[in-house]
Structure 1
Amino acid sequence: MSSPERWSRPQPSGAPAATAASPTAEQVIAGLRATSEGGPELVQLLTPEGERVDHPDFHIDITPDELRDLYRDMVLVRRADREANALQRQGQLGLWVPLLGQEAAQIGAGRALRPTDMAFPSYREHGVAWCRGVHPKEIVGMFRGVDHGAWDPVDRRFHPYTIVIGNQCLNAAGYAMGQRFDGKVGDDNGEATMVFFGDGATSQGDVHEAFVWASVYDAPLVFFCQNNQWAISEPTERQSRLPLYQRARGYGFPGIRVDGNDVLATLAVARWALDECRHGNGPVLIEAFTYRMDSHTTSDDATRYRLSQEVEEWKLKDPIERVKAHLSRNGFADHDFFDGVQAEADELAAVLREHCVNLPEPPPGRMFDNVYAEPSATLEAQRNEYETYLAGFAGGEH
């Protein structure tokens, strides 16, 4: 795969460079409207109709088997997501954060990671978790309130979910700086880190602080922004007057926009960005231009702030359907294959449901466990007071 022209970092100059006249507000707004479909800078290898297209800077060689595997990943992840969403509606989960519509962005990026790389998610990266070997069963416990995440982040190379918006970017920047300080970058065997966040998070100070630290220390960090067009109820134009990927230039590293509904383009761009990082060329910002087909979370009602026409238009760009169309059109898959994947997805959903509803309810006193590494007299006093309170109810339970 060829790479785009290497980024030239700004050099000190004795005299300021000439600048063009600042655009008017009307020109900026017109530019935003022109990029509502991603704009001409959008990297795309598979059209919404399922046709392969070329890109001058990115090429990916992929076998039919690999393409079928990507399709399977997306179908299974979507089915698990829909089952978890239903479980929340039925009172089995306290909350769910759907990924519907963002499967290509997450699977493409997740499959670009090597086993030695590290990933830092927000709270929606169920697809990336799947790629890192984290089963949906290990995720639902958090949303049921029985654990904090059932996987080992060191073993899976996948950090626990982060609820505080944008905080994972600072965590990732620190980790990536450590990779560089430890000499784990510089060649084909180098390590890299990828951090995931949404367009709304780009308005948080933590994200911008992470941009600064990663940039000045040339940290091997890929900032992967899933621009799903809505920061809860605020559209992207309320987050930035310019395309998000262009923000990287202000911090001195390259940014690129990819069709986040195109799993092949996302895979190709993510591989390139990770390769840049592992070779010691510093951070990269990827803006995956995608769409959140469902509400922000199950506590949100997206019909209150966006038009159904907008959703219907994005349905035509469904990331799974375009791969299915490509497989069918080129004779890479038949009905038996698609039926088999769907049956596997339904089985996954059944396993997830059975696991979720049978999760043991933790004892109330567990909230005091693992708060501090060493025992605390104050905490123990609070535990004793709480246990005395519970003992006052019939049967010793509240």
Structure 2
Amino acid sequence: MRIYLLIAAIAGGVTWLVTPLIRHVAIEIGAVGEVRARDVHTIPTPRMGGLGMLIGFTVATIIASRLPFLAGLFEDNYQMWVILAGGIMISLLGMADDLWDLDWMLKLAGQLLISVFVAWGGLQIISLPLGDSLVTASPSLSMAITAFLIVASINAVNFVDGLDGLASGIVAIGGIAFAAYSYMIARSSPSYASLATMIDVMMVGVCVGFILHNWHPAKLFMGDSGSMLLGYLITCASIVMTGRLDPASIHTSIYLPVFMPILLPILVLFLPVLDMCLAIVRRLAKGQSPMHPDRMHLHHRMLRIGHSVRGAVLILWGWAALIAFGSLTILFFRARYVALGMLIAVVLLTAATMYPYLRHRIPEIRAENLISEAARQQAKHVSGEALEAAMGEDARETPKQSAEKTQEEFSDEKHQTQVS
């Protein structure tokens, strides 16, 4: 565990140190995003912070390859070097988008090519759940599933990157959950060294190092070079764990551990994946491109109901932690205890999520009710005055007018009698 903490500290420290330099480079080369209609920030801010993350991850990888405890992970195969090469390529693609705003189809094609390259290099979903067992998939099917998962995760993190510290915090939370899970699995092996755990802790380190510069108000955005890198790394870490699951060592039904290698990216990245799916459906329903920008993402909705930027980020972190850790703790604890804990957490997070809306909406509802009641009282008062005016029309005659009217009536009766 101490080795992993050391690697995480190295990745975070290097990222924290080089990020200010990357900021100056981004300003010099013009990688400064203009304020768009969908943006939350109000002043132009440099992008390309993902380059600092890539440097931190690369340095930590090189140092890890020299440590005796982790050296075997690099000697047995070249999988980690393939992952690093893919990370460099995906970051370069993101940097190109940060500089020149690439067309979404071109960017998607680049993501797909890089994902296929990484799958061809050996990072694949080699087993698929079928019934109560794992079935080895064909090489072509394994490459296709792996590429799809990587591209989906890359874009999910990219979609959720809309507030300062949001994407890096969610990925860090997912990385911690992944690291804990993969470390527990690795403890049943002869060597505690785990490639998945190493990738996770380095990813968490670069996220924490970057958040120190990206917390609201952010000095630098990660840009696509960062969001795409994080989505890529968290999926690579989950795919590496495929084939290392031992259902007999986990206190639950066999079905959940069997599906876990494929479910992990979705469970840990539930909020980004949900946001991405909602955005795609929403845009297609309007006849727009799936990549058409708008202000209807989850973080935009949080701001609309009254949350501050920091408050929205912290609450979304809380939801991400609930889903990530809740989905993993069920593998190690009794389901009823996990369900009870998650229910309590859901109630608390729901209250925190809706509090600004209710705080402003309840007084508004009371004011609307008072206005409606006053309008009803006024209408009732006006109707009463009109009725009184109609009924009291004769009562407003003077005594003289009444006497004259009586005399006229008496004269008419006398005249009719004489005629008779």
Output the TM-score relative to the length of structure 1: 0.28
Instruction: For CA contacts below 8 A with separation 6 or more, give which structure has more relative contact order.
Output: 1
Higher alpha-carbon Rg: 2
Structure (1/2) with the larger helix percentage = 2
